[in-house]
């Protein structure tokens, strides 16, 4: 099967996930509470929600007084040094608290200046409205385009998405609105378009204080994003980290049963209208189950990725109806009047960015790094290892098949006098649509069943023999085998697909490396079943990027006698080329819990062998092995001929 066909099938399967049915409100509330806690992890904001919130330190740098409202130019710190700029539109002559609207900006180069019509119109309608700049394009600029533009695929391993700090900034924006005397904190709404439409979804799903939402041009399905490749046009901020293998619709369901208006043009190039309709129909059934069918609506209008007069008026009417109990219809409410402020008059900093601004590096610190355990004995190692495996299975390898199919191993071709005295090719079933290849051979004097060293084929190994070089000078009493995981050998794909596949795979809850880990585990199982093999004495070997696969596969398998690494990466926290070429090291969320040297250390008492140069970072593993002693051990050798396996 071609990798694109596979991802499309997976994406369609995820999108077909059914939302649950609840027999009572208590069941729903329990479900939402549990899922929302997971969703907070998907955004990377869970640690901040569990801590006492830091002072906002709101500063007003100026005010524009107009006939029916005023505009306060403000900034605040959602976390110390993480500055957020915005404009606060407050109606004049309020005699009691009024509903508040949080407007989250989309991907416009001028942000709050471009979307000022919305703040103005909401204020004219009586809403206090806070328009927030995004990190990427606001006055204080950070980076959203990690994988999209810069090759920072290590974001995937970090479990980092720019949606995380954007949603956190929005949550702190809700804090700000709630503290205003002019705002009724029990009646808060949120809206925005494009990137702002996505942030509308994610903020409302994360924070129950939002009582009504209207995402515009920000709704879709994983199936559409993969099948039509609309993901290729999306910024990294558009999606949470899919560590639990959810569909986007399952994420959207967290907003229920609060009033929701989905707004979409019928010719949006990056949010196909058929996918938007599917989202609406599935959520409508979910709302019906919750007795809230009248609280969900959809506005579809002719046009491209943008607003229209009709869509804006529908949004204004929606909030009037659900936050003000005002039955004004879209036809009755007036649209924007076209009166706009000069850009310079709405700027907060006017180019004088605070010297301690942390926005430009938020991707480096927003997700806390894991605590590296100080393991002193075997019992502690077993506890730490079990805990690590459990969390990795839940948050990094959740896309592993839940129902394991038969390996269906079979001999494909026997060979004489090739690379070995005898050998044969075999195949096995990794997943339903993936039959993968391998090779095994040995010297004629090998006494079977014999120990076997399995090498993982490298993506650049064109003839299938290059990868065996890792096993050079291996004792002839050992069998040698090779496993061709996805993206190697007959299932290799061209480099032109790498960028799309790495981004698209992550959206479906998996990565190239994690798929290869599964293929390796299945390949080990297939080789263990061969009559020539001593299944209790298996070594696993790999070079370069495949060393990542070998380390995680050995950890999860738990019965590997030796791991042989040649030129392993020092860490998973390194970037790739902007076009996605290079080593595909990323595994979803793995760096929240561990890194390659720690995985290597957790393998004790498996023998750990470095062929050639050993990166300095693995000294941690060597020290742990030294502390725990035999039967484990680590070696650095030029070739395997230097030691007796």
455-468 confidence digits (pLDDT tens): 999 999 999 899 99
219-244 residue pLDDT tens: 999 999 999 999 999 999 999 999 99
- The beta strand positions in 511-589, using DSSP E, are 533-543, 562-566
User: Average pLDDT for residues 531-545, to the nearest whole number?
Assistant: 96
Kind and range of the H or E element at 40? helix 25-43
For residues 539-568, one letter each, b for 16 or more C-beta atoms within 10 angstroms of the residue's C-beta and e for the rest, the string is bbbbbbbbbbbbbbbbbbbeebbbbbbbbb
Which pLDDT value is given to residue 418? 66
**Segment 286-340, tens digit of pLDDT:** 999 999 999 999 999 999 999 999 999 999 999 999 999 999 999 999 999 999 9
% the chain with pLDDT above 90? 92
Q: Which residue has the higher pLDDT, 402 or 154?
A: 154
Q: Given this model, what pLDDT does residue 356 score?
A: 86
609 vs 564: CA distance, rounded Å: 5
pLDDT bin (cut points 50, 70, 90) of residue 416 is low
Residue 230 has a pLDDT of: 97
At residue 414, the pLDDT reads 81
Three-class SS state of 411:
strand
Q: What is the pLDDT of residues 99-142, one digit of tens each?
A: 999 999 999 999 999 999 999 999 999 999 999 999 989 998 89
Q: What token pair was written down for 354?
A: 């605070």
| Dist. CA 312–CA 263, nearest whole Å | 9
Closest CA relative to residue 413, chosen from 429, 427, 403:
427
**Residue-wise pLDDT tens digits, 57-77:** 999 999 999 999 999 999 999
Residues 313, 315, 320, CA angle at the centre, nearest 5°?
Answer: 95
Half-sphere exposure of 192 toward its Cβ, with a 13 Å CA cutoff?
33
The domains located in the chain, with CATH, are 3-365 (3.40.50.1820), 378-642 (3.40.50.1820)
- Phi/psi at 405 (5° precision): -90, 170
In this prediction, residue 202 has a pLDDT band, given cuts at 50, 70 and 90, of very high
CA–CA dist 314, 266 (Å, integer) = 16
Distances (CA, A) of 177 to 25, 85, 102, 186, 346: 29, 14, 8, 11, 19
- CA–CA separation, 505 vs 512, rounded Å? 7
Region 199-227 average pLDDT? 98
* Cα–Cα distance measured from residue 251 to residue 312, given in angstroms and rounded to the nearest whole number: 25
* pLDDT tens by residue, 333-367: 999 999 999 999 999 998 788 888 999 999 999 99
For residue 512, which of 478, 540, 533, 487 has the smallest C-alpha distance? 487
Question: Residue 531 contacts by C-beta under 8 Å, 6 or more apart in sequence?
Answer: 448, 449
Cβ–Cβ under 8 Å, residues 414 and 424: yes
Q: What is d(CA 483, CA 499) in angstroms, rounded to the nearest whole number?
A: 24
Residue 417 has a pLDDT of 63
pLDDT higher than threshold 70 for residue 5: yes
Indicate the SS3 state at residue 401.
coil
Tokens of 423: 């050998």
User: CA-to-CA distance for 189 and 173, rounded, in angstroms?
Assistant: 12
Q: Which helix (H) or strand (E) holds 579?
A: none
């Amino acid at each position: 099967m071609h990798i694109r066909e596979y991802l499309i099938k997976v994406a369609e399967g995820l999108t077909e996930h059914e939302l649950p049915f609840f027999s009572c409100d208590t069941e729903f509330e329990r479900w939402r509470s549990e899922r929302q806690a997971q969703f907070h992890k998907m955004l990377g904001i869970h640690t901040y929600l569990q801590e006492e919130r830091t002072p906002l330190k709101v500063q007003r740098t100026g005010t524009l007084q107009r006939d029916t409202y005023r505009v306060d130019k403000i900034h605040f710190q959602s976390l110390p040094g993480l500055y957020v700029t915005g404009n606060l539109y407050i109606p004049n002559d309020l005699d009691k608290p009024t509903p508040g609207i949080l407007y989250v900006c989309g991907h416009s180069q001028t942000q709050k200046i471009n979307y000022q019509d919305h703040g103005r119109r909401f204020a004219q309608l009586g809403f206090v409205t806070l328009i927030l700049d995004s990190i990427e394009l606001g006055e204080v600029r950070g980076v959203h385009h990690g994988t999209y533009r810069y090759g920072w695929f290590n974001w995937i391993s970090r479990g980092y998405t720019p949606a995380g700090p954007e949603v956190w900034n929005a949550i702190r924006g809700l804090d700000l609105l709630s503290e205003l005397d002019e705002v009724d904190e029990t009646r808060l709404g949120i809206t925005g378009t494009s990137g702002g439409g996505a942030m509308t979804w994610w903020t409302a799903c994360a924070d129950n204080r939002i009582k009504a939402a209207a995402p515009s041009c920000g709704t879709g399905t994983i199936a559409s994003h993969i099948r039509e490749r609309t993901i290729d046009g999306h910024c990294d901020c558009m999606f949470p980290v899919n560590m639990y293998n959810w569909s986007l619709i399952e994420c959207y369901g967290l907003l229920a049963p609060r009033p929701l208006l989905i707004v979409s043009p019928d010719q949006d190039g990056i949010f196909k209208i058929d996918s938007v309709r599917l989202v609406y129909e599935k959520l409508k059934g979910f709302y019906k189950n919750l007795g809230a069918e009248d609280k969900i609506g959809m506005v579809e209008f002719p046009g491209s990725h943008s607003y229209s007069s009709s869509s804006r008026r529908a949004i204004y009417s929606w909030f009037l109806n659900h936050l003000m109990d005002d039955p004004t219809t879209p036809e009755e409410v007036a649209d924007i009047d076209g009166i706009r402020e000069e850009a310079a008059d709405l700027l907060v900093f006017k180019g004088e960015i605070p010297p301690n601004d942390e926005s430009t590096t938020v991707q480096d610190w927003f997700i806390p790094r894991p605590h590296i355990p100080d393991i002193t004995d075997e019992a502690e190692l077993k506890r730490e290892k079990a805990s690590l495996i459990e969390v990795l299975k839940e948050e990094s390898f959740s896309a592993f098949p839940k129902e394991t199919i038969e390996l269906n191993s079979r001999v494909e071709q026997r060979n004489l006098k090739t690379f070995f005295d005898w050998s044969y090719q075999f195949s096995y079933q990794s997943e339903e649509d993936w039959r993968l290849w391998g090779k095994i051979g040995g010297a004629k004097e090998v006494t079977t069943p014999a120990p076997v060293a399995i090498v993982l084929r490298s993506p650049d190994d064109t003839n299938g023999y290059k990868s065996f070089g890792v096993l050079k000078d291996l004792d002839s009493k050992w069998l040698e085998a090779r496993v061709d995981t996805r993206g190697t050998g007959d299932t290799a794909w061209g480099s032109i697909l790498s960028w799309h596949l790495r981004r698209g795979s992550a959206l479906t809850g998996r990565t190239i490396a994690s798929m290869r880990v599964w293929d390796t585990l299945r390949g080990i199982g297939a080789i263990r079943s061969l009559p020539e093999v001593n299944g209790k004495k298996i070594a696993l070997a790999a070079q370069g990027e495949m060393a990542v696969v070998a380390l995680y596969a050995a950890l999860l398998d738990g019965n590997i006698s030796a791991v042989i690494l040649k030129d392993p990466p020092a860490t998973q926290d390194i970037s790739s080329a902007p076009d996605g070429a290079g080593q595909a090291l990323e595994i979803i969320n793995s760096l929240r819990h561990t890194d390659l040297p720690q995985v290597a250390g957790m393998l004790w008492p498996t023998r750990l062998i470095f062929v050639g140069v050993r990166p300095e970072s693995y000294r941690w593993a060597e020290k742990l092995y030294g502390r725990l002693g035999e039967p484990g051990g680590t070696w650095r050798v030029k070739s395997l001929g230097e030691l007796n396996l």
